[in-house]
Amino acid sequence: MQGVDIRPLKQRLRAEIKDWRRAMTPEKKQAADARILRRVTGLHEYASCGTVLTYVSKPIEVDTIALIERALADGKRVAAPRCVEGRREMEFFLIHSLEDLAAQTFGVLEPVRERCVLLEDFEGSICIVPALAYDRRGYRLGYGAGYYDRFLSQYTGPKIGVIYAHNLRPRLWHGRYDVPVDLIVTESRLLCCVPAGNRRRMQNR
């Protein structure tokens, strides 16, 4: 039986979610972002990690600027992604403040290479993973470029998805090589996507 092309379905869902997020009032978004930040920083995974890998949020994404500032204030190392020129891959660079960031690929704030150190050892880190939507198994709908898919296929630390509760779906399309996150944090709940025993082993890495 001929397979169904799900690319138009994904594009339609991406557009719907972007429209919904743009329609959020600043007050509603700020309140949701603050609750998500409190939940993330209240996690055992956050408390026990030495390094936080995090995307730098765009206006329609769950805010990570406050998370970056909080993690630095908590004495943690913070690393942000930078796209590798000519390849659909990204590297993480340690930053010391928001001043180490500048607009680069797709207008996203990325580390300025000359000011930052490439992070090559991910031991003791957690990764905050962006998405337009997650499902309850931890699979994500990204923006379609594949940067995080490639990185997560090699990353073994705790993977924490942050999302607005409205963008959490019962089930999303995924391929055999897609990597689910371990935890999903929304403004209203924490969802564990791995069995409890696996989460304990993950925490002890």
Task: List the CATH number of the domain containing 126.
Answer: 3.40.50.10420
Q: Is the whole-model pTM more than 0.85?
A: yes
104 is in an annotated binding site: no
Condensed to tens digits (0 to 9), the pLDDT of residues 20-67 reads: 999 999 999 999 999 999 999 999 999 999 999 999 999 999 999 999
Question: Residue 199 pLDDT more than 60?
Answer: no
13 belongs to an annotated ligand binding site = yes
Question: Is 9 flagged in the annotation as binding?
Answer: no
141 is in an annotated binding site: yes
Sheet containing strand 168-169, strands side by side: 140-141, 133-135, 168-169
Q: Does 147 show up as a binding residue in the annotation? A: yes
Angle at CA of residue 20, ends 8 and 159, nearest 5° = 75
Q: Does residue 32 lie in a domain region?
A: yes
What was the pLDDT predicted at 114? 94
In a domain, 12, yes or no: no
Question: Residue 203, annotated ligand binder?
Answer: no
Q: Which domain holds residue 162?
A: 26-192
Q: Is residue 21 part of a domain?
A: no
Does 73 belong to an annotated binding site? no
For residue 198, being part of any structural domain is answered with: no
* Integer Cα distance of 195 and 118 in angstroms: 33
Q: What is the mean pLDDT of residues 76-97?
A: 92
pLDDT in tens, 136-165: 999 999 987 788 999 999 999 999 999 999
Counting the structural domains of the chain, the total is: 1
The reply, when asked if residue 148 is annotated as ligand binding, is: yes
Amino acid at 116: C
Residue 202 inside a domain? The answer is no
pLDDT for res 9: 86
Instruction: Give residue 107's pLDDT.
Output: 82
| Domain annotation covers residue 13 | no
In a domain, 69, yes or no: yes
37 known ligand binder: no
Q: Is residue 201 part of a domain?
A: no
Exposure of 163 in the CB half-sphere (CA atoms within 13 A): 28
> Does the annotation flag 114 for ligand binding?
no
Q: How many Å apart are CA 34 and CA 30, to the nearest integer?
A: 6
46 is in an annotated binding site: no
